[in-house]
Amino acid sequence: MDSRPTNSELEILNVLWRIGPCSVRDVFEELNKTRTTGYTTVLKLMQIMAEKGLVTRNEQNRAHIYAAQRSESDTQRSLLDDFVDRAFGGSAHRLALHVLGSKKSSEEELAEIRQLLERLEEKS
Protein backbone atom coordinates (compact mmCIF):
# COMPACT_ATOMS: atom_id res chain seq x y z
CA MET A 1 0.00 0.00 0.00
CA ASP A 2 2.89 2.25 0.83
CA SER A 3 4.44 1.44 -2.52
CA ARG A 4 7.63 3.15 -3.48
CA PRO A 5 7.70 4.90 -6.83
CA THR A 6 9.59 3.21 -9.65
CA ASN A 7 12.10 5.15 -11.72
CA SER A 8 9.57 6.29 -14.29
CA GLU A 9 7.08 7.17 -11.63
CA LEU A 10 9.68 9.22 -9.85
CA GLU A 11 10.38 11.09 -13.04
CA ILE A 12 6.73 12.02 -13.26
CA LEU A 13 6.56 12.96 -9.60
CA ASN A 14 9.49 15.27 -10.13
CA VAL A 15 7.50 17.13 -12.75
CA LEU A 16 4.46 17.38 -10.51
CA TRP A 17 6.54 18.68 -7.66
CA ARG A 18 8.27 21.22 -9.85
CA ILE A 19 5.35 22.66 -11.78
CA GLY A 20 2.50 21.69 -9.50
CA PRO A 21 -0.78 19.91 -10.28
CA CYS A 22 -1.29 19.56 -14.02
CA SER A 23 -2.61 17.43 -16.85
CA VAL A 24 -1.06 14.43 -18.54
CA ARG A 25 -0.24 16.60 -21.51
CA ASP A 26 1.68 19.02 -19.33
CA VAL A 27 3.75 16.21 -17.87
CA PHE A 28 4.22 14.70 -21.31
CA GLU A 29 5.58 17.95 -22.71
CA GLU A 30 7.78 18.51 -19.72
CA LEU A 31 9.32 15.05 -20.01
CA ASN A 32 9.87 15.43 -23.72
CA LYS A 33 12.14 18.38 -23.10
CA THR A 34 14.80 15.96 -21.95
CA ARG A 35 13.86 12.66 -23.54
CA THR A 36 11.45 11.09 -26.01
CA THR A 37 8.37 9.30 -24.77
CA GLY A 38 4.87 8.62 -26.01
CA TYR A 39 1.79 10.40 -24.77
CA THR A 40 -0.12 7.24 -23.95
CA THR A 41 2.91 5.90 -22.13
CA VAL A 42 2.83 8.81 -19.76
CA LEU A 43 -0.94 8.56 -19.47
CA LYS A 44 -0.79 4.89 -18.60
CA LEU A 45 1.88 5.45 -16.00
CA MET A 46 -0.11 8.22 -14.38
CA GLN A 47 -3.26 6.09 -14.35
CA ILE A 48 -1.34 3.36 -12.58
CA MET A 49 0.10 5.88 -10.16
CA ALA A 50 -3.43 7.03 -9.38
CA GLU A 51 -4.43 3.43 -8.65
CA LYS A 52 -1.43 3.03 -6.39
CA GLY A 53 -2.24 6.25 -4.60
CA LEU A 54 0.97 7.97 -5.60
CA VAL A 55 -1.03 10.80 -7.17
CA THR A 56 -4.50 12.19 -6.78
CA ARG A 57 -6.70 13.00 -9.72
CA ASN A 58 -9.30 15.69 -10.26
CA GLU A 59 -11.76 14.56 -12.92
CA GLN A 60 -13.83 17.74 -13.04
CA ASN A 61 -12.68 18.73 -16.49
CA ARG A 62 -12.10 16.63 -19.54
CA ALA A 63 -8.37 16.77 -19.04
CA HIS A 64 -7.89 15.35 -15.57
CA ILE A 65 -5.57 17.17 -13.25
CA TYR A 66 -3.03 15.13 -11.37
CA ALA A 67 -1.19 16.06 -8.20
CA ALA A 68 1.50 14.33 -6.18
CA GLN A 69 0.03 12.70 -3.13
CA ARG A 70 3.09 12.89 -0.89
CA SER A 71 5.48 15.80 -0.66
CA GLU A 72 8.86 15.70 -2.27
CA SER A 73 10.74 15.61 1.00
CA ASP A 74 8.49 12.93 2.45
CA THR A 75 9.11 10.75 -0.54
CA GLN A 76 12.80 11.43 -0.47
CA ARG A 77 12.93 10.38 3.13
CA SER A 78 11.34 7.01 2.32
CA LEU A 79 13.57 6.43 -0.65
CA LEU A 80 16.55 7.36 1.40
CA ASP A 81 15.70 4.89 4.13
CA ASP A 82 15.40 2.15 1.55
CA PHE A 83 18.57 3.15 -0.14
CA VAL A 84 20.62 3.36 3.03
CA ASP A 85 19.51 -0.12 3.97
CA ARG A 86 20.08 -1.63 0.59
CA ALA A 87 23.28 0.01 -0.48
CA PHE A 88 24.94 1.09 2.74
CA GLY A 89 23.87 -1.63 5.13
CA GLY A 90 21.84 0.88 7.12
CA SER A 91 24.73 3.16 7.92
CA ALA A 92 23.51 6.65 7.15
CA HIS A 93 26.66 8.39 8.22
CA ARG A 94 28.74 6.29 5.86
CA LEU A 95 26.42 7.45 3.13
CA ALA A 96 26.91 11.04 4.22
CA LEU A 97 30.65 10.63 4.13
CA HIS A 98 30.40 9.20 0.65
CA VAL A 99 28.31 12.08 -0.55
CA LEU A 100 30.52 14.76 0.91
CA GLY A 101 33.69 13.03 -0.18
CA SER A 102 32.79 12.27 -3.75
CA LYS A 103 30.64 15.19 -4.79
CA LYS A 104 31.73 18.74 -5.17
CA SER A 105 29.87 21.09 -2.93
CA SER A 106 29.83 24.85 -3.09
CA GLU A 107 30.97 27.03 -0.20
CA GLU A 108 27.38 27.85 0.61
CA GLU A 109 26.42 24.21 0.69
CA LEU A 110 29.31 23.35 2.96
CA ALA A 111 28.37 26.22 5.23
CA GLU A 112 24.83 24.93 5.38
CA ILE A 113 26.00 21.50 6.34
CA ARG A 114 28.35 22.90 8.96
CA GLN A 115 25.46 24.81 10.47
CA LEU A 116 23.34 21.69 10.63
CA LEU A 117 26.21 19.83 12.23
CA GLU A 118 26.47 22.46 14.92
CA ARG A 119 22.81 22.20 15.69
CA LEU A 120 23.08 18.43 15.92
CA GLU A 121 26.02 18.66 18.25
CA GLU A 122 24.27 21.09 20.53
CA LYS A 123 21.42 18.69 20.94
CA SER A 124 23.59 15.80 22.05
Partner DNA sequence: TCCATTATACGAAGAGTTTCGTATAATGGA
Partner DNA sequence: TCCATTATACGAAACTCTTCGTATAATGGA
Q: How far is the CB of 19 from a second copy (least distance, A)?
A: 13
Q: Which of 17, 21, 23, 70 binds DNA (CB under 7 A)?
A: 23
Q: Would strands 55-58 and 65-68 be described as parallel, antiparallel, or unpaired?
A: antiparallel
Residues in contact with a second copy by CB under 8 A are: 7, 10-11, 14, 73, 75-77, 79-80, 83-84, 86-89, 92-93, 95-103, 105-107, 109-110, 112-114, 116-117, 120-121, 124
Q: Does 14 bind DNA (CB under 7 A)?
A: no
- DSSP 8-class letter at 6: -
Give the Cα separation of 113 and 92 in Å (integer): 15
Q: Is the dihedral of CA 116, 16, 103, 3 positive or negative?
A: positive
Site for DNA in 51-110 (CB under 7 A): 61-64
Q: For 121, which DSSP code?
A: H
Is 40 a binder of DNA (CB under 7 A)?
Answer: yes
Nearest to 79 by CA among 2, 19, 12: 2
* Helix 92-102, helix 72-88: angle, nearest 10: 100
CB of residue 78 to DNA, shortest distance in Å: 14
| Number of residues binding to DNA, judged by CB under 7 A | 21
45 contact choice in a second copy, DNA, none (CB below 5 to 8 Å, kind-dependent): DNA
* Binding interface with DNA (CB under 7 A): 6-9, 23-25, 37-41, 43-45, 47-48, 61-64
